[in-house]
Chain A
Amino acid sequence: MVSFSSLEFMFRFLPVFLIIYYLVPSKYRETVFLAGSLVFYAVGEPVLILVLLFATALNYYYGRKVWELKAEALRHGWVEKKRKSYTGQILLLDVAILVFFKCFAAFVDSALLPLGISFYTFKMISFQIDILRGEISEEPKVKNVALYFTMFPQVVSGPIMRYDEGTFGREKSCSPEKLEDGLKYFVLGLGMKVLLADRLAILWNDLQMIGFQSISTPLAWLGAAGYSLRLYFDFWGYSLMASGILVMLGYEFVENFDHPYAAKSISEFYRRWHITLGSWFRDYIYIPLGGSRCSSKRLALNLALVWVLTGIWHGSGFNFVIWGVSLGGLIIMEKLVYGKYLHKFPWAGNLYVLILIPLTWVVFAITDLKQLGIYFGRLFPLIGGEGIMVNRQDFANYTRNYSVYFIMGILLCFPCVFRFYEKHKKNPLMILFLTGVFWLSVYYVSSSAINPFMYLNF
């Protein structure tokens, strides 16, 4: 049920929850939201929900203490030190919880990774630092803090919203316009996930089934492109569904993707891809380290650290370290060496991003380093050699079967296509189109066992 595109979620949990949420007086809505979120999480993670509850209680306790000392700290310098030490303690605890379970999952049993732990611990860290910095304006009440950490649209895979963006404690207006708007985002996201990402996922599975050593070089590139699109629509679709639900509940839309494949440099790509994670690293790691206002040596070091951490956060395999390091390396080079040329020649920048990013996704996708080597060998046959039992027809076959998904996917990568949609989303034809997208998605979900969302067990 934790997958938004499951029938159980769309036709059982969500409608029942929405009806209750709309019917109760608005002052009880946050309580209903919290209760619904706990039910949602308990269904997906009946035992390890204890980890979430424990971490929530712990973070509330510390956060509250630091909040209460704020006024006093303005008068006495030593109180500020005390606040910092409390924050330091809870940050260590949050990191320890995350690292402990990640290691446990990596070395003992991957089933023991609590659902969404990478996301909710990051929210907790952000909450603590925001309190210390005085960026949280309203008094953090236990109900609101618990809701922020556990809210079902975000608990599994983000977006990593900031506490203040939730405007907790303030009444939410659930207007018909917001219901309509949120529903459109949800259906759009559903279509991206089910009609594009899940279809393209089959291509990647096929390549694994054939064995990388036996795919032709053109098919290897098609596979890399397909995987890049699949990951994008899987995660963008998911983020749209999550934010769409929040809009239906009267919250603000949280932007997580802004047409990254239209970027002209890798650093720009990552300002537009998984925006809430990027800004988290920027605000809580990169800038405290000195950001870009320091020597170029220090800058390189800061970026390297951020990207190694980003890599490790994404998974326990060594390939994720390689992935993070190579992205960090490219971004450092852009900052220090050739970045300015990329923006001077936009086409070169686009080409640079569109060739390099799929290659980095291949590193991201293949956790077995030997297999990763084989795949790169097929991408670059001059290094990798001939391959084994390669079928020269494979590229033609797969292009025939998947061209419709590639065309749709590539079109959606253009910002203007999405702008067109935004402009005309009240048009009756567009509404009919979205209705079609919804039921076609339901058809696919009904008739096939769906892939669980890829970022699920982070």
Chain B
Amino acid sequence: MKKIREFIRKCPFFLLLVSTGVVLSLLGLGGKNNVYAGQEYNPLTEPAASVVFTALNDGIYPWQIFSEESRSVMAEAESTKEESGETTPAAGAAEENSEGSAEESMAAGEEGAEGAAGRDDGDGEDSDMPAEGEDGGEGIEEGSGAAGTGTQAGEADSTEEDSPASEENEAAPDTQEDAEDDENVSSSESDIPKGRLEPLRASTHEEYINHISADIYGDAGVKRAAEYGFVRVDESYFDDALFIGDSRTVGLRDYTDLSDHADFYSETSLTIYKVLEESFKGKGTVTSALERKDYGKIYIMVGINELGTGTTEDFMKKYTEVIDTLHELEPEAKIFIQGIMRVTGKKHNSDPIYNNNNINARNNAIATLADNEQIFYIDVNEVVCDEEGNLNAEYTFDQLHLLGAYDELWKEFLLNHGVIE
């Protein structure tokens, strides 16, 4: 007893560290099946406490564990996650589930909620099956609108299955159409531009778990967008332009004189999931910018940061939503979707996520949104890439961003791709 008392007196720091560590670990373990279900955690290399910290970045705080209704906590947590765009697979399921159960009241919706309950257990017990989580969620949600989207609904039922049956795969596009229409009616105006291309296929489970962005659209959209006859303009053209983008656009802002003309809402690590909600330092949100000033052109380039997040479908869904919202808020403005700038060959060959196959697949998807009337697709890769289609290694230090001195190429490209009616 005396010994213990002496130890306490001599090692207050040690004991404080250990006890705070125990508390944090208990929090981490306690929240494992609900608030922290979405955090990646490897018990071999990480303390249980680390999920408490990683979750902070997603806006999930420890006290949410003690909240009475764990379900509402989850919904809240997931909606914050959605804003930050860092939806991890398992969380994706939760997100879709909560949407499904909250919004849908039809019979199909009930079915979805049932599926959701099953999903919860699955995620809690086995974090090795993130893919099923997400796909299942998709299936549930879309299933409420239509008959279910082949692949995904199929997967929702069989969590053990590794690859979807091929016939379900083929069935996907048809039903997807219904699902999309249905969604459009419920979510936004009928003013959506017509003639959008449909995906040729759905992402496979294999592609999903390996973080491969599936090229589900082919180059039809890119080709159609390239048919437009862009013209050379001068710098005053950008006087009513708004640029939205990530760190690459920050480079364009800081190392060309475009910022003398246009407004920039750009920020390091911006993603398509954050575009509409993000409050830019000292400027507010994009929405508030569009309310303040009538923009004639809106340029957007995002997509590199979220390359490892979700499938091409997930990305495309959000991208479509953002473009439609921008169009709705500023119907007169020309919207320029800029293809995601590629990475160098060195990066392309060594990185399983940040490579040009994934970038091209996503560019092919977003290019289909162009209608060549109000919405255009332009691709700066034409001027910054080498013969092999990789970002020219001389133009960059970190294989990803243009050096300040070469942002001028991008500006020139934009000057050559004006739209004048």
For the A-B complex, the count of residue pairs with Cβ-Cβ distances under 8 Å equals 101
Report how far A179 CA is from B17 CA in the complex, Å: 12
Chain B residues contacting A183 (CB-CB under 8 Å) are: 13-14, 17
Contact, CB under 8 Å: B397 / A447 = no
Chain B residues contacting A442 (CB-CB under 8 Å) are: 47, 49-50, 53
Q: In the complex, what residue of chain B is closest to A180 when comparing beta carbons?
A: B11
Picked from B44, B398, B405, the residue with its CB within 8 Å of the CB of A388 is B405
Instruction: Using known A-B contacts A213-B405, A214-B404, determine if residue A391 contacts B254 with beta carbons closer than 8 Å.
Output: yes
Picked from A177, A187, A211, A438, the residue with its CB within 8 Å of the CB of B404 is A211
Instruction: Using known A-B contacts A211-B397, A214-B255, A447-B54, determine if residue A388 contacts B11 with beta carbons closer than 8 Å.
Output: no
Nearest chain A CB to B48's CB is how many angstroms away? 9
Q: A25 contacts the other chain (Cβ, under 8 Å)?
A: no
Nearest chain A CB to B394's CB is how many angstroms away? 11
Contact, CB under 8 Å: A7 / B398 = no
Contact, CB under 8 Å: A391 / B255 = yes
Report how far A85 CA is from B416 CA in the complex, Å: 76
Proximity bits, B1-38, A CB within 8 Å = 1, else 0: 00000110011111011001000100000000000000
Nearest chain A CB to B24's CB is how many angstroms away? 7
Contact, CB under 8 Å: B405 / A389 = yes
Contact, CB under 8 Å: A439 / B20 = yes
Contact, CB under 8 Å: A209 / B47 = no
Picked from A11, A175, A428, the residue with its CB within 8 Å of the CB of B12 is A428
Instruction: Using known A-B contacts A208-B397, A214-B404, determine if residue A389 contacts B255 with beta carbons closer than 8 Å.
Output: yes
Instruction: Using known A-B contacts A8-B45, A438-B17, A442-B49, determine if residue A179 contacts B11 with beta carbons closer than 8 Å.
Output: yes
Contact, CB under 8 Å: A446 / B7 = no
Q: A137 contacts the other chain (Cβ, under 8 Å)?
A: no
Q: B79 contacts the other chain (Cβ, under 8 Å)?
A: no
Contact, CB under 8 Å: B7 / A435 = no
Q: A176 contacts the other chain (Cβ, under 8 Å)?
A: yes
Proximity bits, B48-78, A CB within 8 Å = 1, else 0: 0110011011000000000000000000000
Contact, CB under 8 Å: B398 / A205 = yes
Contact, CB under 8 Å: B256 / A209 = no
Q: B362 contacts the other chain (Cβ, under 8 Å)?
A: no
Q: A103 contacts the other chain (Cβ, under 8 Å)?
A: no
Interface size class, chain B: 20 to 34
Nearest chain B CB to A204's CB is how many angstroms away? 11
Q: A443 contacts the other chain (Cβ, under 8 Å)?
A: yes
Instruction: Using known A-B contacts A208-B398, A209-B397, A388-B405, determine if residue A176 contacts B7 with beta carbons closer than 8 Å.
Output: yes
Nearest chain B CB to A300's CB is how many angstroms away? 39
Contact, CB under 8 Å: A176 / B11 = yes
Contact, CB under 8 Å: B53 / A184 = no
Chain A residues contacting B398 (CB-CB under 8 Å) are: 205, 208-209
Contact, CB under 8 Å: A389 / B256 = yes
Nearest chain A CB to B290's CB is how many angstroms away? 25
Chain A residues contacting B157 (CB-CB under 8 Å) are: none
Report how far A179 CA is from B12 CA in the complex, Å: 11
Q: A210 contacts the other chain (Cβ, under 8 Å)?
A: yes
Nearest chain A CB to B45's CB is how many angstroms away? 4
Q: B407 contacts the other chain (Cβ, under 8 Å)?
A: yes
Picked from A209, A391, A431, the residue with its CB within 8 Å of the CB of B16 is A431
Report how far A254 CA is from B69 CA in the complex, Å: 54
Chain A residues contacting B168 (CB-CB under 8 Å) are: none
Report how far A179 CA is from B251 CA in the complex, Å: 49
Chain A residues contacting B17 (CB-CB under 8 Å) are: 183, 187, 435, 438
Nearest chain B CB to A377's CB is how many angstroms away? 14
Nearest chain B CB to A214's CB is how many angstroms away? 3
Contact, CB under 8 Å: A435 / B14 = no
Report how far A210 CA is from B256 CA in the complex, Å: 12
Report how far A177 CA is from B13 CA in the complex, Å: 11
Q: A283 contacts the other chain (Cβ, under 8 Å)?
A: no
Report how far A394 CA is from B404 CA in the complex, Å: 12
Q: A393 contacts the other chain (Cβ, under 8 Å)?
A: yes
Contact, CB under 8 Å: B54 / A446 = yes
Proximity bits, A420-453, B CB within 8 Å = 1, else 0: 0000000010011011001100110011000000
Interface residues of B (CB under 8 A from A): 6-7, 10-14, 16-17, 20, 24, 44-47, 49-50, 53-54, 56-57, 251, 254-256, 397-398, 401, 403-408
Known: A389-B255, A397-B254. 7 other contacts (CB 8 A): A7-B45, A11-B49, A183-B17, A213-B405, A390-B404, A442-B47, A447-B56
Interface CB pairs A-B, < 8 A, 10: A1-B45, A7-B50, A179-B11, A210-B251, A210-B254, A210-B403, A211-B404, A213-B403, A213-B404, A389-B404
The 6 closest A-B pairs by CB, nearest first: A214-B404, A211-B403, A11-B47, A176-B10, A446-B53, A446-B50
Interface residues of A (CB under 8 A from B): 1, 7-8, 11-12, 175-177, 179-180, 183-184, 187, 205, 208-211, 213-215, 388-391, 393-394, 397, 428, 431-432, 434-435, 438-439, 442-443, 446-447
